[in-house]
Amino acid sequence: MTEPSITSGEQTHSGFVAIVGKPNVGKSTLLNAFLGTKVAPTSPRPQTTRRGVRGIHTSGDRQIVFVDTPGLHKPKDALGKYMNHEVHSALADVDAVVWVVDLRHPPTDEDQLVARQVRELPKPLFLVGNKTDAAKYPDEAMKLYRALLEGRDADLSDTMLSAQNNPNAVATLREQLLEILPESPFFFPVGPASDQSREQWAAEIIREEAMKKLRDELPYAVATRVNRWTEREDGLQRIEGEIVVEKNAHKGMVIGSGGKQLREIGQAARKQLEVFLDRKVYLGLEVIVIPGWREDVEALRELGYE
Ligand SMILES: Nc1nc2c(ncn2[C@@H]2O[C@H](COP(=O)(O)OP(=O)(O)OP(=O)(O)O)[C@@H](O)[C@H]2O)c(=O)[nH]1
Ligand SMILES: [Mg+2]
């Protein structure tokens, strides 16, 4: 037997793997760890992810397309409904499912909701107990999560890890996922870690920093977009973005007194963009109002939630 090689007309293996779970368990952190780069926004607040972000990992003749999904929750508005829809369509379309749980706590109703969605799926299922670094009773918690899958034995494996600081365990899991991919041509070119446009990616970084800094309901009432991105001859990236809020009253709250808060959001986002682009960045941010955008299907579409 010779080693398989993509240059000799060998069959390639490729498929989609959804990363699902309730909000805030570390799905996007795990996606970024799988890819070794930042593709998806992460934050200490639940419901950070809104769109199904795809991350691409190619190893030899195998390619995994990870689909990061919003945390499954009880939706309160049109945006929430859109987010849950993203989860359901990911579950329907993928070849395997990674269910992430937070081992710092026992399962909640929301975990049960997810368990019901994944238990019966006729696809390989990987239960990932995350945040072992911060969990007091990881083994006991894991047992409780496993119990939610009672009755399911086929195509089930589980592992405990820290998406944040356990790169070896993350790599082992990624190897397992590469093994179960069906024969298929690659879905994406080898190289880029994501299928998002650079504008979408930058808008998500801006939203991440806004979500981290804003308080109360505000993090959920903002959307972001990048309208212009130009490159100067000396390499400087000039990025112009908007923070969209629902009400006039929110505008001032985002900007802060003397513009301090907006400046802080902009600085933090610019720093992240510079690290990942390895270029100097000028980031211009403006705050605009689109009344009630979270309930407005047309506005949602305009903001990229479609
Ligand atoms: N201690 C610890 N914290 C983690 C770990 N993984 C993720 N986190 C933290 O958990 C919080 C949520 O992480 P995310 O990756 O945004 O979670 P998510 O499941 O994508 O959340 P949503 O998109 O809101 O559903 C962040 O503050 C992360 O830094 C981990 O392994 N250990
Ligand atoms: Mg997320």
User: Per-domain residue ranges for the chain?
Assistant: 6-179, 198-302
> How many Å lie between the centroid of ligand 1 and the Cα of residue 10?
38
The pLDDT of residue 197 is above 80: yes
Tell me: the pLDDT tens digits for 143-178? Answer: 999 999 998 988 999 999 999 999 999 999 999 999
The pLDDT of residue 7 is above 50: no
Q: Whose CA is nearest to atom 14 of ligand 1?
A: 26
pLDDT, mean of residues 133-145: 98
What is the reported pTM? 0.93
Contact 25, 45 (CB under 8 A): no
3-state secondary structure of 95: coil
Lowest average pLDDT, out of 25-34, 42-51, 236-245, goes to 42-51
| Fold for the domain defined by 198-302 | GMP Synthetase; Chain A, domain 3 (3.30.300)
The pLDDT of residue 6 is above 80: no
Contact 67, 52 (CB under 8 A): yes
Instruction: Give residue 10's Cα distance to chain centre.
Output: 32
Atom of ligand 1 nearest to the CA of 161: 31
The pLDDT of residue 133 is above 60: yes
Beta pairing partners, 101 = 129
Tell me: the pLDDT tens digits for 30-63? Answer: 999 999 999 999 999 999 999 889 999 999 999 9
Residue 127: C-alpha distances to residues 104, 171, 190, 192 (Å): 15, 15, 28, 27
pLDDT, mean of residues 77-106: 96
Task: Name residues contacting ligand 1 (CB within 6 A).
Answer: 21, 23-29, 42-44, 46-49, 70-71, 130-131, 133-134, 162-164
d(C-alpha 52, C-alpha 54), whole Å: 6
pLDDT at residue 5, as a whole number? 43
**Residues of the chain with pLDDT > 90: what percent?**
93
Neighbouring residues of the ion ligand 2, judged by CB less than 5 Å: 27-28, 48-49
Atom of ligand 1 nearest to the CA of 46: 24
Q: Whose CA is nearest to atom 23 of ligand 1?
A: 49
d(C-alpha 86, C-alpha 140), whole Å: 31
Contact 137, 118 (CB under 8 A): no
Binding-site residues from annotation for GTP: 21-28, 68-72, 130-133
pLDDT at residue 146, as a whole number? 97
pLDDT at residue 8, as a whole number? 44
Q: Which pair of structure tokens corresponds to residue 167? A: 């790169």
Which of 22, 25, 29, when mutated, tests ligand 1's pocket best, judged by the most ligand atoms within 8 Å of its CB? 29
Task: Write down the mean pLDDT value for the chain.
Answer: 94
The pLDDT of residue 4 is above 90: no
Beta pairing partners, 120 = none
Q: Whose CA is nearest to atom 12 of ligand 1?
A: 24
> How many Å lie between the centroid of ligand 2 and the Cα of residue 47?
7
Which of 20, 22, 24, when mutated, tests ligand 1's pocket best, judged by the most ligand atoms within 8 Å of its CB? 24
Ligand number nearest CA of 40 is 2
DSSP conformation class of 134:
G
Q: Which pair of structure tokens corresponds to residue 104? A: 């710092």
Which amino acid type is present at position 286? Answer: E
d(C-alpha 113, C-alpha 20), whole Å: 11
> How many Å lie between the centroid of ligand 2 and the Cα of residue 214?
17
Q: Which pair of structure tokens corresponds to residue 163? A: 């998406």
The pLDDT of residue 2 is above 70: no
Q: What is the CATH number of domain 6-179?
A: 3.40.50.300
